[in-house]
Amino acid sequence: MENILDRFLRYVSIDTMSDENSDSQPSAAKEWDLLELLRNELKALGVEVTLDEYGYVMASIPSNIEKKVPAIGFIAHVDTSPDASGKDVKPQIIENYDGGDIALKGVPGLFLKPADFPEMLHYKGQTLITTDGTTLLGADDKAGVAEIMNAVQYIVEHPEFKHGPIKIGFTPDEEIGRGVVKFDVKRFGADFGYTMDGGEIGELEFENFNAASAKIHIQGCNVHPGYAKGKMRNAILIASELNSLLPVEQRPEYTEGYEGFFHIVAFNGTVENADIAYIIRDHDRAKFERKKDFISKTCDFINEKYGDSTVTLALKDQYYNMRGQVEPHFHVVEKAIKAIEMAGVKPKVQPIRGGTDGANLSFKGLPCPNIFAGGLNFHGKMEFVPLESIQKASEVILNIISLYAQD
């Protein structure tokens, strides 16, 4: 079999950053490069596979046992976050990590430090894959892609491995919330699924945030500052005032666990015009609705103060908590817990402080918990992934398949 590290490095070398300002699907033409590669690699392994006009790779491996068992799907996304560049990724391979600071050699003086990220110390003695400080790494979710492809290769090359029907899916645009908008669950053909898109080793999640985006436009009034008294309305200051009205304690840097937040992700302005973008998150649906109502009322207040045409709000739901869709099929969680334990890893069942394709797939009728892919510090230059975590995640995939075949 191909070394899983070589596979992972091949995938991260391809720039697949999605584009939230694009209306096409995939949102960035360069995503096709990896999607087409994956299709071709699956074909070369002798696996039945399609790549449709929306950028969905769907593959199927038929059962090799007589009894009827559920078809199990494994899904990962190929795109990387627009939060940081994914072009010309230059991974660093740190073998037998000693617990010290790691120089990110693409940026002089930049280090990945346990003082800042103490979880690094959990991986002493292992092989860490880091960035060089100039880009993100792309383990979110190319680690998941590599883990699935590694499992597929094992199954193809080991016909003695007993399994039911297996479905494989690779999607674009997950990072911009559009990963499975046009995903045909019926055509995919799985009864139950798992996204390989979680964080550090052992993580298993079947509940996630309810999510919305809020885009706010502020219309100011620019007048020569020498003659501005009683006339100027500075859009920058109004936008800053609006932001100050949102609860400080509900910013992401002050929240954890099940606590939701308002997160300002973009601010661009002049005296005449300003634009603010937020994401709104909460696991509890009632609290989520109250957060959306709060930001709407905040905009209403600003309009009452400065005039009705001052603020325009575009509020859009992105995805919902999948817990209610997964719990009626709780065996998918129990199987994953057992599969993780079989790999010699302690399961960490916890809520996702984010979202996955699995959330939207669950609402499309495919219950789909999320399993660790192994990476940490996603979406930025401090991202890293232990090689051993990637290997264990691929082992978990095979364990899940085996458990369903045995039942």
Query: What's the pLDDT at 2?
Result: 87
Question: Above pLDDT 90, what percent of the chain?
Answer: 96
Which residue among 173, 174, 203, 357 is the active-site one? 174
Query: What's the pLDDT at 150?
Result: 98
67 within 8 A of 5, measured Cβ to Cβ: no
Judged by DSSP in three states, 58 sits in strand
The pTM (predicted TM-score) of the whole model is 0.89
DSSP string, 96-140: T--SS-EE-TTSTT-EE-TTT-GGGGGGTTS-EEE--SSS---HH
Query: What's the pLDDT at 355?
Result: 79
Span 310-357, pLDDT tens digits = 999 999 998 899 999 999 999 999 999 999 999 999 999 999 888 789
According to DSSP, the β-strands at 57-61 and 72-77 are unpaired
Give the separation between CA 97 and CA 396, rounded to whole angstroms: 24
24 contact partners, CB below 8 Å, separation of at least 6? none
Say which amino acid occupies 347: P
Q: Is the pLDDT of residue 124 over 90?
A: yes
Query: What's the pLDDT at 403?
Result: 98
Helix 235-244 / helix 285-306 crossing angle, nearest 10 deg: 140
Domains and CATH numbers, the chain: 4-208+321-406 (3.40.630.10), 210-319 (3.30.70.360)
Residue 157 appears among annotated catalytic residues: no
132 contact partners, CB below 8 Å, separation of at least 6? 90, 91, 92, 104, 105, 106, 107
Which residue among 15, 31, 41, 79 is the active-site one? 79
- Across the chain, what does the average pLDDT equal? 96
Q: How confident is the model at residue 407 (pLDDT cuts 50, 70, 90)?
A: confident
Q: How confident is the model at residue 155 (pLDDT cuts 50, 70, 90)?
A: very high
Query: What are the Cα distances from residue 77, in Å, to 141, 319, 324?
Result: 6, 16, 23
Residue 174 appears among annotated catalytic residues: yes
Query: What's the pLDDT at 177?
Result: 85
- Residue 337: CB atoms within 10 A of its CB come to 13
